[in-house]
């Protein structure tokens, strides 16, 4: 076991929390979600992230509220319990009945499957680890629900700090790529198991931005969500989103960024007043046209065309299509039950869920999301607290949309951090939903 440099820094931060009240650990946990590829400790090629460690510390500090709120079981928590039980059962049962099937294990990556048919389904510990971590997420959601009136006072600070560090690291990396400024990539991405395509070098010396995330697609999806979080705020937020965030989206050269940007735009349009939506949409179009003209010229134009507009002809797409086809086959070969949670990785969270826990698991997962997120979202449009909730919902919509199409991680840290935020904000007037 090796404590990493960022792990040492994070340990100091967590120890500093004893000087403050326990809400400090909620802030630390949300900020840690932006350090997706940062391991707290390494065990060879495996690592435990700073987010997981922060989450465990948060649960420990707030554990007493579980007993306080034992009688407060909202409907979405029942769906979470059913989903969790189904996940554990699938891990045990699926390999017994479908051992002749071949899967693409999540801890092996996907590129090698171009020349391979996969590996026999035999279960293993990875699925159990994933299910335990899913359980940690549900426990954290429940704690946030019970302690929401206590945590609401630090919610705005938490999400703003998360956004600040994502943008700061993105610009630091961009400065290193364009101007040669020193950028400590190994500090933020410090485990080979996390660093899937971090710092990917392209033609002409360009580097796709990945920040403190495993690869550009993750960073692109998140930074697009950050754009709509800021754009959903008042005028200063809109200005910051265009000036500070838009360049990072462009230099991620990520198809996931496009998906995230579009879904975030749809949520923003839904929550905006009609006249505001028309005016700001026209301003965005006016800004995008000249930027596009610059992008399609020169060396970067070639890369932008290759990684965005000609994405369907890329090796990445070929890999995704092959994995997706196999995911559909696994779903139907198991009669809709799936091959067991954590036993297969597709190119999106949606197909990963279908292939691993089938139609039944997807039902519980979507019921959980609908009751916890969608109901408050529908109320938010006419709510007096719209300005408070709209940025979070726009951010969440961007991330969730990218997970449905291009991000395969069901335990995506940013996604769960935003779920925690939505739960905390549920204590505000007019957005209680089914809570």
pLDDT in tens, 139-175: 999 999 888 889 998 989 999 999 999 999 999 998 9
Q: Does the structure show a pLDDT above 70 at 232?
A: yes
Q: What pLDDT was estimated at residue 158?
A: 93
Q: What pLDDT was estimated at residue 385?
A: 47
* Residue 384 pLDDT level (bands cut at 50, 70, 90): very low
Contact 417, 162 (CB under 8 A): yes
Contact 264, 282 (CB under 8 A): no
Q: 323, 296, 316: which is closest to 217 by C-alpha?
A: 316
Q: Does the structure show a pLDDT above 80 at 358?
A: yes
Least confident of 98-107, 125-134, 393-402: 98-107
Q: What pLDDT was estimated at residue 57?
A: 95
Q: Does the structure show a pLDDT above 90 at 27?
A: yes
Q: Does the structure show a pLDDT above 60 at 204?
A: no
Least confident of 123-137, 220-234, 258-272, 310-324: 310-324
Which residue ranges make up each domain of the chain?
Answer: 1-61+157-214
pTM: 0.87
Greater model confidence, 338 or 377: 338
Q: What pLDDT was estimated at residue 55?
A: 95
Q: Does the structure show a pLDDT above 50 at 291?
A: yes
* Residue 430 pLDDT level (bands cut at 50, 70, 90): very low
Written as one string, the DSSP assignment of 138-200 is HHHHHHHHHTHHHHHHHHHHHHHHHHHHHHHHHHHHHHHHHH-----HHHHS--TTT-SSTT-
Q: Does the structure show a pLDDT above 50 at 434?
A: no
Q: Does the structure show a pLDDT above 70 at 334?
A: yes
Handedness of CA 365, 371, 377, 381 (dihedral sign): positive
pLDDT in tens, 54-75: 999 999 999 888 777 566 677 8
Q: What pLDDT was estimated at residue 432?
A: 42
Rounded alpha-carbon distances, angstroms, from residue 154 to 26, 212, 372, 381, 387: 8, 24, 21, 24, 17
Structure tokens, 108: 């092996």
Q: Does the structure show a pLDDT above 70 at 365?
A: yes
- Average pLDDT value for residue range 314-330: 77
pLDDT in tens, 104-147: 877 665 555 444 567 777 767 778 888 999 999 999 999 998 88
Contact 344, 104 (CB under 8 A): yes
* Residue 192 pLDDT level (bands cut at 50, 70, 90): low
Q: How far apart are CA 59 and CA 143, in angstroms?
A: 8
């Amino acid at each position: 076991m090796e404590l990493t440099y960022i792990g040492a820094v994070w340990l100091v931060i967590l120890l500093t929390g004893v000087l403050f009240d326990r809400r400090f650990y909620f802030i630390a946990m949300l900020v840690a979600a932006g350090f997706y590829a940062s391991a707290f400790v390494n065990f060879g090629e495996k690592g435990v992230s700073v987010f997981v460690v922060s989450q465990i510390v948060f649960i420990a500090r707030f554990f007493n509220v579980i007993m306080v709120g034992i009688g407060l079981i909202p409907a979405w928590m029942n769906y979470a319990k059913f989903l969790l039980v189904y996940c554990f059962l699938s891990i045990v049962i699926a390999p017994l009945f479908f051992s002749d099937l071949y899967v693409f294990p999540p801890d092996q990556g996907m590129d090698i499957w171009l020349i391979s048919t996969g590996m026999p389904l035999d279960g293993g510990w990875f699925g159990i680890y994933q299910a335990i971590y899913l359980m940690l997420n549900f426990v954290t959601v429940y704690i946030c629900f019970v302690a929401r009136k206590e945590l609401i006072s630090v919610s705005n600070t938490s999400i703003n700090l998360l956004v600040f560090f994502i943008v700061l690291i993105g610009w630091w990396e961009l400065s290193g790529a364009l101007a040669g400024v020193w950028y400590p990539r190994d500090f933020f991405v410090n485990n080979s198991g996390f660093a899937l395509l971090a710092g990917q070098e392209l033609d002409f010396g360009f580097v796709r931005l990945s920040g403190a995330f495993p690869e550009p697609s993750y960073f692109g999806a998140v930074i697009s969500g950050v754009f709509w979080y800021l754009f959903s705020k008042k005028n200063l937020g809109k200005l910051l989103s265009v000036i500070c965030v838009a360049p990072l989206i462009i230099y991620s050269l990520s198809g996931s960024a496009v998906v995230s940007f579009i879904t975030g735009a749809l949520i923003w349009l839904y929550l905006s007043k009609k006249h505001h939506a028309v005016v700001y949409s026209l301003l965005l179009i006016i800004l995008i046209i000249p930027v596009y003209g610059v992008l399609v010229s020169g060396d970067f134009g070639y890369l932008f065309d290759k990684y965005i507009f000609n994405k369907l002809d890329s090796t990445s797409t070929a890999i995704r299509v092959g994995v997706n086809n196999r995911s559909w086959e696994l779903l139907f070969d198991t009669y809709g039950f799936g091959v067991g949670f954590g036993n297969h990785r597709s190119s999106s969270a949606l197909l990963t869920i279908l292939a691993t826990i089938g139609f039944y698991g997807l039902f519980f997962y979507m019921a959980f999301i609908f009751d916890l997120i969608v109901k408050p979202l529908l109320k938010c449009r006419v709510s007096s607290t719209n300005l408070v909730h709209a940025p979070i919902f726009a951010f969440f919509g961007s991330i969730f949309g990218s997970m449905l199409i291009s991000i395969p991680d069901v335990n995506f840290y940013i996604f769960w951090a935003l779920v925690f935020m939505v739960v905390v904000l549920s204590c505000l007037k007019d957005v209680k939903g089914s809570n």
